[in-house]
A and B are shown apart, each in its own frame.
Chain A
Amino acid sequence: MPRANLNLDKPTPLELENLRWIIITSENAEEVFKKLEEQGIDPVLWGLTDKDFELLAKNFAQIRNQLKITNDLLDKYKKYYEPEVKNNNTKK
């Protein structure tokens, strides 16, 4: 007697917020903070050096790749073991 299909729903795809990068140099720092104040934003920034920005971008790309691989792996397992179950995450 075969086991019943597990048939769990796939996780809901992410819907992320876009964030705004501000480049601040020794020359434009004053102007940047002034603009922030004018826009009613607290004149404070979290900073990254150019090298750390590069590392952050690469870290995110690696996380993205891992996410894609894991997601595809899940699809392949579902397709193999539960071929008759309709994927709930088909493109609309």
Chain B
Amino acid sequence: MFGSLKIAMVAILITGIAGAGMYVMKLRSDNAILKANQLKLESAVADQKALIVNQKKDFEDILDANNKMNELVSILKKDLDDLDKRFNKKNRDVGKLAIAKTESIERITNGASALATRCIEIASGSPLTEKEKNATKKSEINSECPSIANPNYVPY
């Protein structure tokens, strides 16, 4: 009887040790999973942060593009208004002027026509010349479209 009790005690002891060992191994395994999950979470947070930064930059770029387009539309409208003024300023009648000063109006018309032709080239993407870029005086600018032909010209 005493022998059987001993055997039972040893069996319990062995089972306890084996159980503890398995428990430790499970803890280690759980710990490894938790570490992997932690890494995934950290990576996801970093990705989200990068995404937010990119989205913020995109919004800024969109806003900037919209503002620049609106600005362009408004300066081009000004060029168009200026053209209208040139024809009709103070009830000016270009026809009567052309009758009275035919040669000089012809010369002015041809000059303006050449400038207007250049404006279309620029609008189609033609690069500005150094002269156009550096023009700052009224006498140097393309009076037909200074807003697109002479970026450094400030009207005075």
Contacts and interface: CB of A to CB of B under 8 A. Distances in A.
Contacts of B7: none
Interface residues of B, number: 42
B121 A10 contact: no
Contact of A53 (B76, B94, B119, B121): B94
Which bracket fits the contact residues of A? 35 or more
B98 A15 contact: no
Contacts of A11: 124-125
Interface in B28-53: none
B10 interface: no
Contact of B106 (A22, A57, A58, A79): A22
Interface in B70-93: 72-73, 76-77, 79-80, 83-84, 87, 93
A12 B125 CA distance: 8
B73 A69 contact: yes
Contacts of A90: 127
Interface in B112-156: 112-114, 116-117, 119-128, 144-145, 148
A21 B109 contact: yes
A60 B106 CA distance: 19
Nearest to B99: A25
B76 A23 contact: no
A12 B72 CA distance: 22
A68 B76 contact: yes
B65 A61 contact: no
7 contacts: A14-B120, A18-B113, A21-B113, A23-B102, A58-B84, A61-B119, A72-B72
